[in-house]
Each structure stands twice: as C-alpha cells, then as structure tokens.
C-alpha cells in the first residue's frame, strides 16, 4: 500500500475512533473528505509546523464545514499538534474538543466553525491580509456542497476574485448529499461548476478520492485568480453501508454494522478500547 493511502486509512480509523469514544458525530461528512485532508496535511501540500502552531509563515486551513471536525482532529493529532490520547474524550467534560472546532482552544485550528457559510469570508480576510503583507502563505478552505446553499458563500465567491486572491484555494467536498436527502432533491445546484466559473474562479474538477488528482489540484495556482477545486466525493467513503446513504450524516453503527465497519477500516477490538 502506498504511503498516502495508508495515511488516509489511518485518518479514517481515527475518525471512527473519535466517534466511538464520543458516542456520536458527523462521520459521513468526515469520511467524505478524509482523502482530501490526508493529502493536504501529509503529502507536502500544507506548510505547517505542529511544534509551532502560530508560525507566522505557515499556510492555513479553514474547515468551513465544521461538522467534519473529526477529520480535522484526526489530521491534527497525526501531524503532532496534540497527543492522540486527547481525542478519546471529544465532547466530554474537561475536553477542549467539541463537535465543532474552536480556535484558541485547539492548536492548529484557525477558525471556530460550525454554523455554515462562515469559513470562506474568514479565509478571504486572512488571504487579503497575507497578500498586503506579501506573505508567501497559502489559504485552504473546505466547504460542504450543501453549505453552498448559504447566501454568504456567494458573497465570498464574488469577493475573492474581485480582490484577486490567488493565495486562496477553496475545495468543495461535493458528495451530493446533505443531512436529509440528495442535494438536487432539495435545492437545484447544478450546473455547480459553471456557477463558480461565472463568478470568476479558476475551477478545477477532480475525483476527491484520487490522491494524484487531489494533490495536483491543491497545488494549482492562477495568477490573480482564486482557485476552487470541485472534488467529487462519496459521503461516508470507506465504509460500504455508509456510502451515499444520507442517514449516515449523523448516526452510529449498531451491533450488526460495527463488525463490518471494523473489517473495512481495519480496526481491531484493541483499537476501540
């Protein structure tokens, strides 16, 4: 198995471990972007120093779809921002980790997110500041596709090209599902890529589970233009019974399902102790 593949597998294991100890969480959304966050943090894309989380020259990652916090927590722990042990208590009294990431509390978290439609504008502010400071630092944002139903996303989508923020890359985790149903059954969002093109973005479309495509897209730059990566993904990716099933937006496996999940993610009984 290739290194990045193993990394992504480990991230998925960690995501379930967090949910297992916490007794719940948004697993589908976290699995959906597990490959993206793996490449971002562990395949020479994001520039960071876990030992010095506030390093001035770092790149920044904003998880705008804050409900996929377990994916972020898993990546930050693996990167060494804090001991993995701390993730055994997510959502519990005394823990600094909640269902949604909080800046200032957790090293490596750049913005408190959870309410949808906030991360893009926050990231635009950072990208603008870095640009005027002539900092060689890139800003990445992951949006949910359902999140793109928020009006503020499109305020930001107008703003970033206007400000010529070529130091900003938005990744839309386009799994085509939201909490209750398929996106298109709820709000017509197609043609989705064309909307971003019309707003003035450099649009890159990829398979969000193909590591080469993810890396190439994350490293794509166009002078004077922000880039949006429309990553076609599968919600719940990696656990067969979760894939493309809306109910797994927020649910825990039962006794029959758990062994299947463990088998598919490569988790042992010991891993869940």
Partner 1 sequence: MRTAYLDTLYDLAGKDRRVYALISDNGAIVYDKYRKDLPAQYLNLGISEANMLGMAAGMASCGKIPFAYTIGAFLAYRAFEFIRNDICLQKQNVKIVGTGAGEIYSALGPTHHSTEDLGGLRSLPNLTIITPASPMEVKKATVAAYEYEGPVYLRLGTNKEAEIYEKDYIFEIGKGVVMREGRDITLISLGTVVKDVLDVAEALDKEGINTRVINMHTVKPIDRELIMQAIDETGRIVTIEDHNIIGGLGSAVAEVIAEYGKGVTFKQMGLHNFSEGYGTYQQVKANNGIDVPCIYNAVKKIMD
Q: How far is the CB of 162 from partner 1 (least distance, A)?
A: 8
Site for partner 1 contains 165 (CB under 8 A) = no
Sheet with 168-174: strands ordered across: 60-63, 139-144, 168-174, 227-232, 202-207
Q: How far is the CB of 103 from partner 1 (least distance, A)?
A: 5
Q: d(Cα 55, Cα 75) in Å, to the nearest integer?
A: 18
Site for partner 1 contains 180 (CB under 8 A) = no
- Here's the x/- map for partner 1, 59-98, by CB under 8 A: it reads as ----------------------------------------
Among 14, 20, 65, 118, binds partner 1 (CB under 8 A): 118
Which of 152/210 has CB closer to partner 1?
152
Among 99, 107, 125, 200, binds partner 1 (CB under 8 A): 125
Among 4, 88, 121, 246, binds partner 1 (CB under 8 A): 121
Which of 32/113 has CB closer to partner 1?
113
Among 53, 114, 200, 246, binds partner 1 (CB under 8 A): 114
Total binding residues for partner 1 by CB under 8 A? 32
> Residues near 170 by Cβ (< 8 Å), separated by ≥ 6?
120, 123, 140, 141, 142, 143, 160, 201, 226, 227, 228, 229
Q: How far is the CB of 75 from partner 1 (least distance, A)?
A: 20
Q: d(Cα 189, Cα 157) in Å, to the nearest integer?
A: 15
Nearest 5°: phi and psi at 222?
-135, 125
Site for partner 1 contains 132 (CB under 8 A) = yes
End-to-end CA distance of the chain: 26
Among 152, 215, 243, 250, binds partner 1 (CB under 8 A): 152
Site for partner 1 contains 151 (CB under 8 A) = yes
């Amino acid at each position: 198995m290739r290194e990045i593949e193993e990394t992504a597998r480990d991230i998925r294991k960690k995501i379930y471990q967090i949910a297992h100890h916490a007794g719940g969480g948004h697993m589908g959304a976290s699995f959906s972007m597990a490959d993206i966050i793996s490449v971002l943090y562990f395949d020479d894309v994001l520039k960071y120093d876990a030992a010095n989380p506030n390093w001035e020259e770092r790149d920044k990652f904003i998880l705008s779809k804050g409900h996929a916090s377990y994916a972020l927590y898993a990546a930050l722990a693996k990167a060494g921002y804090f001991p993995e042990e701390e993730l055994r208590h997510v959502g519990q009294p005394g823990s600094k980790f909640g269902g949604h990431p909080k800046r200032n509390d957790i090293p490596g978290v750049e913005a408190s997110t959870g309410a949808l439609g906030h991360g893009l504008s926050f990231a635009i502010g950072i990208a603008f500041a870095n640009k005027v400071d002539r900092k060689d630092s890139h800003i990445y944002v992951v949006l949910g596709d359902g999140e793109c139903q928020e009006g503020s996303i499109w305020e930001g989508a107008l703003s970033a090209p206007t400000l010529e923020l070529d130091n900003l890359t938005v990744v839309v985790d386009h799994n085509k599902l939201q909490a209750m149903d398929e996106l298109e059954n709820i709000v017509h969002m197609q043609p989705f890529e064309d909307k971003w093109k019309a707003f003035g973005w450099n649009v890159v479309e990829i398979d969000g589970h193909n590591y080469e495509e993810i890396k190439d897209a994350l490293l794509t730059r166009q002078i004077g233009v922000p880039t949006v990566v429309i990553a076609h993904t599968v919600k719940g990716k990696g656990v067969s019974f979760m894939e493309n099933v809306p109910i797994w937006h927020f649910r825990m496996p039962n006794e029959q399902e758990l062994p299947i999940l463990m088998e598919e993610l490569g988790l042992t009984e010991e891993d869940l102790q």
